[in-house]
């Protein structure tokens, strides 16, 4: 569709541009996360932004709000129903099955950082295109992994300077113990039907666990009196949960058990957790995750368990302190046509040797160029004029200290990269 002639284009509701200098902060956070994830043995998997709609219906779950209300689903020109990924977990499970990654001797620990799409009501901390840093571990059923993942999440938030964080945990049981709980929950929810919103009334019949996802005060208050899943765990889930908790103690991590933390997606079994920051406001979860031991099998793959979490990058960035890293680039000042050419060669030399280098081509006076270097917060400036070209020596100025020295290009390089 063509834009009307005089109307400026604008971004779509719920999406935003990440501009400099904010984009620098993103790069720093992304690099930091990659390093941390890799130090725990994770490798990156990149999958397509869109998948078959069925993948999320089956994976994320047909009773989840994400599938019922929030998916960007469309038919392509071949009539296939496709969906922009609302989360990463089903995509990664699909990829493992399709690429037979479970047959390789490698660790099955994966991470990914990228955009997700959910058609939810935009507000602070909630967007329609947002980014997640996601990690997943497969084939490890012991609670040691659950605890290590929470420890990693907590450590990286601390290292990034995020304050006021809280760990919430729960166990949502398994297919053995949950049916009994469902029955009990359904009976109790039925008694409270009049207090519940229309959505939650529907959930009584489809999946009463999803009532806990409702943010409406009346439903939340009604849910306070509902039975707790932790009172219904089978022996195996109970023991897993106890070990998980004792391992969090072992790591010295403080946490609260929240029996209503069922998380909005249908696939969880046993452990669920979230880390919140009170600095975030209403949307206070920086990250959330849990175990999903049945998804791979439900997709027709091998019986391999999984666990992971995803962190909202926008939320992380909003509670992460600003980085006050000084710029590290050289600004080359040139006077005259010949000097411009020589500067281009010099810039090539410095860049090849790892120095960030900025060259502007407009013909400006020396003073103007020096003030540009200053304004752009260059770390150094290098003056190239007729005299300098003749001598093969240039004025290198440290813009922070004001120290100036006549140097060859090799000496300049040495000074800049130490
Ligand atoms: P989730 O709780 O739906 O879990 O999302 C994880 C995180 O993504 C949230 O805690 C939040 O920080 C961020 N997030 C979610 N929706 C939005 C939004 N509309 N705008 C901004 N940020 C948002 C999952 O997605 C699971 N796949 C996590 C997982 C991985 N479980 C096991 N493995």
Yes or no: say if 231 and 238 are a contact pair by the CB < 8 Å rule: no
Asked if residue 12 belongs to a domain, the reply is: no
Q: Does residue 74 sit in the same domain as residue 155? A: yes
Total domains present in the chain = 2
Asked if residue 218 belongs to a domain, the reply is: no
Per residue in 260-293, pLDDT (tens digit) is 999 999 999 999 999 999 999 888 999 999 999 9
Indicate which atom in ligand 1 lies nearest the CA of residue 285: 10
Our mutation pick for probing the ligand 1 site, out of 132, 146, 275, 293, counting the most ligand atoms within 8 A of Cβ, is 132
Cα 151 to Cα 31, 146, 318, distances in angstroms: 19, 9, 22
Segments forming the whole domain that contains residue 159: 22-177+233-319
Q: Does residue 32 sit in the same domain as residue 126? A: yes
Asked if residue 4 belongs to a domain, the reply is: no
pLDDT of residue 4: 61
Per residue in 348-368, pLDDT (tens digit) is 999 999 999 999 999 999 999
We report the CATH number of the domain holding residue 392 as 3.40.50.800
What is the Å distance from ligand 1's center to 116 Cα?
Answer: 9
What is the Å distance from ligand 1's center to 121 Cα?
Answer: 15
Asked if residue 204 belongs to a domain, the reply is: no
Q: Does residue 146 sit in the same domain as residue 260? A: yes
Cα 325 to Cα 21, 25, 353, distances in angstroms: 11, 10, 21
Indicate which atom in ligand 1 lies nearest the CA of residue 127: 20
**Positions in the chain whose pLDDT score sits under 70:** 1-4
Q: Whose CA is nearest to atom 12 of ligand 1?
A: 312
Alpha carbons within 13 angstroms on the beta-carbon side of residue 342 total: 21
What is the Å distance from ligand 1's center to 337 Cα?
Answer: 55
Asked if residue 215 belongs to a domain, the reply is: no
What is the Å distance from ligand 1's center to 271 Cα?
Answer: 16
Which of 292, 319, 346 terminates a domain? The answer is 319
What is the Å distance from ligand 1's center to 312 Cα?
Answer: 6
- What residues flank ligand 1, with Cβ below 6 Å? 87-89, 118, 120, 125-127, 130, 132, 134, 136, 263-265, 285-290, 292, 308-312, 314-315
We report the CATH number of the domain holding residue 142 as 3.30.930.10
Per residue in 230-254, pLDDT (tens digit) is 999 999 999 999 999 999 999 999 9
**Rounded Cα–Cα distance for residues 347 and 358 (Å):** 8
Q: Which tokens is 361 given?
A: 């081509």
Q: Does residue 26 sit in the same domain as residue 49? A: yes
CB atoms within 10 A of CB 21: 11
Beta pairing, strands 285-291 & 271-277: antiparallel
pLDDT of residue 94: 98
Asked if residue 186 belongs to a domain, the reply is: no
What is the Å distance from ligand 1's center to 33 Cα?
Answer: 16
Beta bridge partners of 290: 272, 308
Q: Where are the beta strands (DSSP E) in 30-174?
A: 43-44, 50-52, 72-75, 81-84, 109-117, 129-138, 165-171
Our mutation pick for probing the ligand 1 site, out of 310, 314, 316, 318, counting the most ligand atoms within 8 A of Cβ, is 310
What is the Å distance from ligand 1's center to 308 Cα?
Answer: 11
Q: Does residue 307 sit in the same domain as residue 346? A: no
Q: Does residue 344 sit in the same domain as residue 313? A: no
Q: Does residue 294 sit in the same domain as residue 345? A: no
Beta bridge partners of 131: 115
Which of 257, 290, 319 terminates a domain? The answer is 319
Q: Does residue 243 sit in the same domain as residue 386? A: no
pLDDT of residue 222: 93
pLDDT of residue 190: 95
Q: Does residue 345 sit in the same domain as residue 268? A: no
Q: Does residue 161 sit in the same domain as residue 290? A: yes
Q: Whose CA is nearest to atom 6 of ligand 1?
A: 310
Q: Does residue 336 sit in the same domain as residue 255? A: no
Asked if residue 44 belongs to a domain, the reply is: yes
pLDDT of residue 282: 84
Which of 249, 284, 319 terminates a domain? The answer is 319
Our mutation pick for probing the ligand 1 site, out of 70, 288, 317, 318, counting the most ligand atoms within 8 A of Cβ, is 288
Alpha carbon distance, N-terminus to C-terminus of the chain: 55
Q: Does residue 88 sit in the same domain as residue 157? A: yes
Indicate which atom in ligand 1 lies nearest the CA of residue 120: 19
Asked if residue 394 belongs to a domain, the reply is: yes
User: What pTM does this model have?
Assistant: 0.93
pLDDT of residue 236: 98
């Amino acid at each position: 569709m063509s834009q009307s002639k005089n109307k400026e284009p604008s971004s779509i509701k719920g999406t935003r541009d990440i501009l400099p200098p904010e984009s620098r902060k993103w790069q720093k956070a992304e690099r930091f996360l990659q390093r941390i994830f890799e130090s725990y043995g994770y490798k990156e998997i990149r999958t397509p932004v869109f998948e078959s709609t069925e993948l999320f219906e089956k994976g994320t779950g047909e009773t989840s709000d994400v599938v019922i209300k929030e998916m960007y689903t469309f038919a392509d020109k071949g009539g296939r129903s496709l969906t922009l990924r609302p989360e990463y977990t089903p995509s990664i499970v699909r990829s493992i099955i399709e690429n037979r990654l479970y047959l390789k001797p490698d660790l099955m620990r994966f991470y990914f950082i990228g955009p997700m799409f959910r058609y939810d009501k935009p507000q602070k901390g909630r967007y329609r295109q947002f980014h997640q840093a996601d990690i997943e571990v497969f084939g490890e059923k012991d609670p040691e992994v659950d605890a290590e993942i929470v420890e990693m999440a907590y450590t990286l938030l601390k290292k990034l300077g995020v304050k006021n964080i809280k760990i919430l945990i729960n166990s949502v049981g398994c297919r053995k113990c949950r049916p009994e709980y469902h029955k009990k929950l359904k009976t109790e929810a039925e008694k409270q039907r009049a207090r519940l919103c229309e959505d939650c009334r529907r959930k009584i019949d489809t999946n009463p666990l999803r009532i806990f996802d409702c943010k409406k005060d009346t439903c939340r208050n009604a849910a306070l009196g509902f039975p707790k899943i932790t009172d219904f765990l089978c022996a195996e889930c109970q023991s897993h949960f106890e070990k998980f908790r004792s391992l969090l103690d072992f790591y010295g991590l403080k946490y609260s058990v929240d029996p209503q933390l069922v998380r909005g997606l249908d696939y969880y079994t046993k452990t669920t957790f979230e880390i919140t920051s009170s600095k975030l406001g209403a949307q206070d979860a920086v990250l959330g995750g849990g175990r999903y031991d049945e998804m791979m099998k439900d997709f027709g793959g091998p019986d391999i368990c999984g666990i992971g979490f995803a962190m909202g990058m926008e939320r992380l960035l909003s509670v992460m302190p600003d980085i006050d890293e000084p710029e590290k680039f050289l600004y080359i000042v040139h006077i005259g046509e010949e000097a411009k050419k020589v500067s281009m060669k010099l810039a090539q030399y410095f860049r090849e040797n790892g120095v960030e280098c900025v060259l502007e081509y407009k013909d400006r006076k020396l003073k103007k160029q020096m003030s540009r270097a200053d304004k752009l917060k260059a770390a150094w400036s290098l003056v190239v004029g007729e005299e300098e070209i003749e001598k093969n020596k240039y004025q290198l100025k440290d813009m922070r200290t004001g120290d100036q020295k006549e140097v060859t290009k090799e000496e300049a390089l040495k000074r800049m990269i130490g």
